[in-house]
Amino acid sequence: MTASSIANRSLSDLARQTRAAARNLAALSGADRNFAVSAIATALAENAEAIAAANAEDLVAAAAEGIPQPLQARLKLDASKLQGAIAGVRGVEGLPDPVGLVQIRRELDAGLILERVTCPLGVIGVIFESRPDALIQIACLALKSGNGVILKGGREALHSCRILVDVIHRALASTAVDPAAVQLLTTREEIRALLSLDSEVDLIVPRGSNAFVRYIQDNTRIPVLGHADGICHLYIDATANREQAIAIAVDSKTQYPAACNAIETLLVHADAAPTLLPAIASSLRERGVTLRGCERSRKIVPMAAATDEDWATEYCDLLLSVRVVDSAADAIAHINTYGSRHTDAIVTDDAAVAETFLSQVDTAGAFHNCSTRFSDGFRYGFGAEVGISTQTLPPRGPVGLEGLVTYKYRVVGDGHVADTYSGEDAKPFTHRDF
């Protein structure tokens, strides 16, 4: 037996245990599920020192290995970050129960009632990078929504992930939730094995780069909720309000440049460019932004030349590409060619142009006269979020608990058979909604 087939077999056993635990979890009341989430918050607070110590081990190793500074920063789980994570868990506890919602209630005929009711997905596999606080949030979202969860964190966060799952397991032991509902994978080989378990795992949530999400999609039959990069745009129309255009450009680029909802490309209408582009460029440069532009924009504001590659790049940095376009239609065409269907905004005082832009731009977030940085589950009022999906199918955009539930149709009758409603003298359905 090869190492990989052993990994496959043992992981498959583990996934079956998770599935069994998830079935029991799904049968619990919302109060029982919330009690488990609450127990985790309490246990995290009680074990803060041990968690910080384990995290310190990861940080020392990361520094020794020369892991890039931003990654080290994300890896850090100090007292203040843990406090924030615990507050997040309490927030999840306070969210409405996503399970058992009746979406449709319809009489098909007298005494024959159809209901569509939300229910957990089953078992969710989450593959995330270094941030150990993501583990806490995702585990609690999964339990709140009645799902088992198999977690795979980054190798550099191993000690942190181990103690967090250990604390979660001990917390769950005092609740109605079987600790086996939360599992941790620790080796890279297990990712491949996890992706092959399409009969035991119902959804994969990869959190990482576009390339990583693509790799996952190419190597599994399991549905993928991709939290991928964002190539977001801001289009300044001919009739844009000058102050709004400057403020929104600055906020969308610089408020948090590493965020997926920050803009990478600024599109400016040719009529507005001569007066507006210099002012916007100067405000951005004051905040340390480097610009790369098309030929036309470079004639208005001197800057390095942008290449085709720039239009397709998420910089995650204080870099912005700039292009002058002749119309809103050209801006929409540029976005629909190079965008990643994340978030794209227009600044205009022309209501008709705004409506065309909002309806034709192919994106999860179509914004008018506001910053792209609002594209976020917390800001939308969804509470915690699983990720921001750049896929076309629902759930897309910022995804909260609703991405972790599905529904089933329940039909309850009193001996009803389909033959009554078929053939020559078929009885008609009433199809009456309650």
**Using the rule CB under 8 A, is 200 a contact of its own copies?**
no
Distances (CA, A) of 216 to 34, 193, 195, 204, 212: 31, 12, 8, 8, 6
Q: Tell me how far apart the alpha carbons of residues 305 and 321 are, in angstroms, rounded to a whole number.
A: 9
Answer yes or no whether residue 241 interacts with its own copies by CB under 8 A. Answer: yes
Question: Using the rule CB under 8 A, is 121 a contact of its own copies?
Answer: yes
Of 186-194, 227-235, 246-254, 308-316, the segment contacting its own copies by CB under 8 A is: 246-254
Does 415 sit near its own copies (CB under 8 A)?
Answer: yes
| DSSP 8-state assignment for residue 91 | H
Backbone angles phi, psi at 302, to 5 degrees: -60, 130
Q: What secondary structure letter does DSSP report for 247?
A: H
**Stretch near its own copies under the rule CB under 8 A, chosen from 66-74, 118-126, 158-166, 204-212:** 118-126
Q: Is 138 in the site for its own copies (CB under 8 A)?
A: no
5 binds its own copies (CB under 8 A): no
- Choose between 309 and 419: whose C-beta lies nearer to its own copies: 419
Which of 78, 394, 426, 427 contacts its own copies by CB under 8 A? 394
What is the 8-class DSSP label of residue 256?
S
CA atoms of 199 and 218, how far apart (whole Å): 17
3-state class of 270 per DSSP? Answer: coil
E strand or H helix that includes residue 148: strand 148-152
Minimum distance from residue 324 beta carbon to its own copies (Å): 23
Site for its own copies in 211-240 (CB under 8 A): 214, 217-218, 221, 223
Choose the binding region for its own copies from 22-30, 65-73, 167-175, 306-314 (rule: CB under 8 A). 22-30
- Judged by CB, which is closer to its own copies: 132, or 365? 365
Q: Using the rule CB under 8 A, which residue among 204, 280, 367, 400 binds its own copies?
A: 367
Return the residues of window 316-355 that contact its own copies according to CB under 8 A.
Answer: 336, 354
Does 94 interact with its own copies (rule: CB under 8 A)? no
Angle 301-306-309 from CA coordinates, rounded to 5°: 160
C-alpha pair distances (Å), 156 with each of 56, 100, 149, 297, 362: 11, 39, 21, 43, 37
Binder to its own copies among 371, 384, 386, 390 (CB under 8 A)? 371
Interacting positions 26-55 with its own copies (CB under 8 A): 26-27
d(CA 179, CA 214): 32
| Residue of the chain from 65, 243, 308, 425 that contacts its own copies (CB under 8 A) | 243
